[in-house]
């Protein structure tokens, strides 16, 4: 189903701008067919790369080069699609105003304007794609967020949580990028670090050295990890072992207890729904809201749940704050609109339906998936400070 939807999106993203620009520029027939052939090849490359990487334990440098090429092409096509759609909306509005106001614009003038705008579209898209590439590849900025918690104990006033998610180490995100994220987090000197999944896209054998800087993460109240869907796609059992080897405390249908002053903080984790498919014999990876804080003592409850949709259904667990990721904030506009069809929250801090059930914070993530681009959804390391309501 995912592949079918992905192919339909590819057809729309590559096909619509090609059709519109060919209509406006009317190239020679041989050039039009060549254009279509190139576009079709570029459109299929991301699918081929995904299939190759899913069936290769140790991708070669060729795989990495092909990934960069195809994913940049795909991201650029999305931005090109946006530019052409905006051009058509602008032209449509201009023609409507001209028709109503009778400014007397001739058909020849309209054709000239449409041809000029069509010629400018690739230039605008290239500039925006370059900006989007820069936004994705830069070290994520720190986003400071204050969370007002009713009845927060004095000992926990000012508790600072560094939240990272969706790192996606793989063919285009490597060790240097991971190290820059770790430095950013460590400079915050937070009391607790929470990682809400999607660590890597690839095998442990290939990416073990690339994720190694994560072992440098440390905080007085620990570094905690809950699984995302991508953590189950490549030898899930090996990644569960690797996560703990890195010093990340995995919470999956359970919780841990830490103390600050005279108050306790309970950190629980819900596994991603993909877990039970990847590890059907391990009940820790079948989401169970009731099991997360079963037998827990009194204290502030912090829940880690990768998907906002999962987090939204966990109000009964009594968490004052739930941390999520998964959405990337949409990553490239206007796909945040599509994210809303699947997830109740795209990014930011939100109250649950019942205020007494606490807050949900959804991070846009530190990495990216697929195109190494972000447009309208900058990456972030969230630093959440708890204050009494």
Give the global pTM: 0.88
Structure tokens that stand for 16 in this block = 């619509």
Structure tokens that stand for 357 in this block = 């059930």
Query: What's the pLDDT score for residue 275?
Result: 92
Query: 157: Cβ–Cβ under 8 A, 6 or more apart, which residues?
Result: 386, 387, 388
Residue in the structure block whose two tokens are 């972000």: 374
Query: What's the pLDDT score for residue 231?
Result: 96
- Per the CB < 8 A criterion, the answer to whether 213 and 182 are in contact is yes
| pLDDT tens-digit series, residues 69-103 | 888 888 888 898 999 999 888 888 877 776 666 66
Query: What's the pLDDT score for residue 56?
Result: 61
Going from N- to C-terminal start, the domains of the chain cover: 2-136, 140-388
Query: What's the pLDDT score for residue 294?
Result: 94
Preceding amide of 334 cis, omega within 30: yes
Closest CA to 203 of 230, 229, 166, 226: 230
Query: What's the pLDDT score for residue 104?
Result: 67
Q: Is the dihedral of CA 59, 63, 65, 71 positive or negative?
A: negative
- What angle is formed at CA 208 by the lines to CA 205 and CA 209, rounded to 5 degrees? 125
Query: What's the pLDDT score for residue 94?
Result: 78
Q: Is the dihedral of CA 79, 84, 89, 94 positive or negative?
A: positive
Measure the CA–CA gap between 29 and 367, rounded to whole angstroms: 42
68-100 residues labelled b (16+ CB within 10 A) or e (exposed): eebbbbbbbbbbbbbbbeebbeebeebeeeeee
| 277: helix, strand or coil | helix
Alpha carbon 150 to its chain's center:
30
What CATH number belongs to 140-388? 3.60.21.10
Question: How far is residue 206 from each of residues 58, 113, 211, measured CA to CA in Å?
Answer: 5, 52, 10
Count Cβ atoms below 10 Å from residue 179 Cβ, excluding itself.
Answer: 16
Each residue's pLDDT, cut to its tens digit, for the chain (389 residues) gives 666 777 777 777 778 888 888 777 776 666 666 766 676 666 666 666 666 655 565 666 667 777 888 888 888 888 989 999 998 888 888 777 766 666 666 777 777 888 888 888 889 999 999 999 999 999 999 999 999 999 999 999 999 999 999 999 998 999 999 999 999 999 999 999 999 999 999 999 999 999 999 999 999 999 999 999 999 998 899 999 999 999 999 999 999 999 999 999 999 999 999 999 899 988 889 999 999 999 999 999 999 999 999 999 898 899 999 999 999 999 998 877 888 888 999 999 999 877 677 999 999 999 999 899 999 999 999 999 999 98
């Amino acid at each position: 189903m995912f592949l079918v939807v992905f192919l339909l999106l590819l057809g729309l993203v590559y096909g619509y701008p090609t059709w519109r620009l060919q209509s406006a520029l009317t190239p020679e027939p041989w050039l039009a067919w060549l254009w279509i052939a190139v576009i079709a090849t570029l459109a299929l490359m991301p699918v081929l790369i995904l299939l190759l990487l899913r069936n290769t334990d140790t991708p070669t440098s060729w795989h990495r080069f092909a990934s960069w090429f195809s994913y940049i092409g795909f991201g650029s096509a999305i931005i090109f699609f946006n530019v052409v759609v905006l051009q058509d909306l602008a032209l449509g509005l201009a023609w409507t105003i001209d028709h109503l106001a009778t400014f007397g614009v001739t058909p020849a003038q309209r054709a000239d304007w449409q041809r000029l705008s069509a010629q400018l579209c690739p230039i605008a898209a290239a500039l925006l794609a370059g900006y989007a590439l820069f936004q994705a590849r830069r070290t994520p900025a720190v986003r400071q967020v204050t969370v007002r918690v009713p009845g927060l104990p004095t000992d926990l006033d000012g508790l600072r949580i560094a939240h990272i998610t969706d790192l996606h180490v793989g063919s285009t995100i490597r060790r240097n990028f991971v190290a820059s994220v770790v430095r950013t987090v460590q400079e915050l000197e937070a009391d607790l670090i929470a990682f809400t999944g999607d660590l890597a896209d690839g095998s442990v054998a290939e990416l073990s050295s690339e994720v190694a800087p994560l072992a440098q993460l440390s905080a007085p109240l620990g570094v905690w990890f809950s699984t995302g869907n991508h953590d189950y796609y490549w030898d899930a059992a090996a990644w569960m072992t690797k996560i703990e080897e890195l010093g990340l405390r995995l919470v999956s249908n359970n919780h841990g207890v830490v103390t600050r002053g005279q108050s306790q903080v309970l950190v629980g984790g819900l596994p991603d729904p993909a877990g039970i498919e990847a590890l059907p014999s391990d009940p820790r990876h079948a989401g169970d809201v009731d099991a997360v804080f079963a037998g827990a003592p009194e204290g502030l409850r912090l829940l880690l749940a990768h998907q906002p949709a999962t987090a939204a259904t966990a109000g009964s667990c009594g968490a004052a704050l739930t941390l999520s990721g998964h959405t990337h904030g949409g990553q490239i506009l206007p796909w945040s609109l599509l994210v809303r069809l699947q997830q109740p929250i795209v990014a930011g801090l939100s109250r649950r339906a019942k205020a007494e059930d606490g807050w949900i914070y959804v991070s846009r993530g530190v990495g990216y998936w697929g195109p190494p681009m972000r447009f309208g959804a900058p990456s972030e390391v969230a630093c959440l400070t708890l204050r009494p309501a």
